[in-house]
Amino acid sequence: MKILNHTALSMLDLIAVREGGSVAEALAIALRTARHAESLGFSRYWLAEHHNMQGIASSATAVLVGYIAGGTNRIRVGSGGVMLPNHAPLVVAEAFGTLAELYPNRIDLGLGRAPGTDPITMRALRRDRTETEDDFPRDVADLQRLLAPPQPGQRVIAMPGAGTEVPIWLLGSSLFSARLAAERGLPYAFASHFAPRLLLQAIDQYRNLFRPSAVLAKPYVMIGVPLIAAPTDEEAEFLASSTYQRVLGILHGDRGRLQPPVANFMSLLHPQEKAAIDDFLSAAVIGGPQTVREGLAALVQATAADELMLVCDIFDATLRLRSLDIAAAARAA
């Protein structure tokens, strides 16, 4: 599968809190996983912003970026992403500018335009602020300006932040951010790990509309890939039942803790529930080493992605590391 040899591997972590475990344990697992990903030659380890979810401990994203970067040596660490509508651009610039000064050339700033939570929590985060479609492009421009070298007469300076030029990525699951990333000449990450339906259309638009910029000469595409790898297809399917339970909970509005695997879980579901999970995870790669090699290669063949951002929700933290080993071996084969 030589097609994978030139495709970077990275990881996105939502910091799952496992049933029977604690937030402190989830954070320790994340650092252990990041160190393992670094040892395997992964390019990045990103953390996703979510709020008011019992099973996810990644709400304070910038804090977690510092935690992971401080516990690793070389791997790039960033946000996948900061949900920009929840934050003033100056605050984001100062936080990530500080991180960039602490960990030079290792920090990424991925930006999303969704709230990353429910409407009630969104109001608690934003107070009385009402988001419009024009706000996200303007906030991205503000961040670019705040992280660039200060200009003569510039009255608001991010300190730290100014001049750090932290790499900005635009994230999305629709066409909006694809077009904006193309217009600004920024790298683009598509959230196919949970919303794969518009994957091909979005990256086609991004590539077709791309304008070279001072930071990027040609399009760069990253795609999210749910991964569950094991020595056999059967074991991988069993381990994937933890992910299936999580997705079913999301579909029913119950975002609880990551559950242990259940044998034959999908066979217990109503056909409509099974179809909804299959749709949610249509970009997933689940199986043994050969299945993983073929699945990852098929995704790269279909998308010409420059980078695969793996999302690996396995209940047993040690088996999660093994899953990354299998993915890394697939890339090297």
Which amino acid is located at 134 in the chain? D
Measure the CA–CA gap between 194 and 36, rounded to whole angstroms.
24
What pLDDT band is residue 134 in, cutting at 50, 70 and 90? Answer: confident
Work out the burial of residue 247: count CB atoms within 10 Å of its CB; fewer than 13 is exposed, 13-18 middle, 19 or more buried: buried
pTM greater than the 0.85 cutoff: yes
Angle between the N-to-C axes of helices 289-303 and 317-332, in degrees from 0 to 180, rounded to the nearest 10: 60
Q: Which residues contact 87 (CB under 8 A, 6 or more apart)?
A: none
Per-residue CA distances from 31 to 37, 44, 65 (Å): 10, 13, 10
Task: Give the residue numbers spanning the domain of 135.
Answer: 2-332
CB 206 within 8 A of CB 219: yes
Work out the burial of residue 133: count CB atoms within 10 Å of its CB; fewer than 13 is exposed, 13-18 middle, 19 or more buried: exposed
Residue range 77-108, pLDDT digits in tens? 999 999 998 899 999 999 999 999 999 999 99
> Is the pLDDT assigned to residue 131 strictly greater than 90?
no
> Is the pLDDT assigned to residue 32 strictly greater than 80?
yes
Residue range 212-222, pLDDT digits in tens? 999 999 999 99
CB 64 within 8 A of CB 12: no
Residue range 182-209, pLDDT digits in tens? 999 999 999 999 999 999 999 999 999 9
> Is the pLDDT assigned to residue 132 strictly greater than 90?
no
Q: How many domains does the chain have?
A: 1
CATH at residue 45: 3.20.20.30
Measure the CA–CA gap between 212 and 238, rounded to whole angstroms.
45
> Is the pLDDT assigned to residue 126 strictly greater than 90?
no
> Is the pLDDT assigned to residue 20 strictly greater than 80?
yes
What pLDDT band is residue 66 in, cutting at 50, 70 and 90? Answer: very high
pLDDT at 124: 60
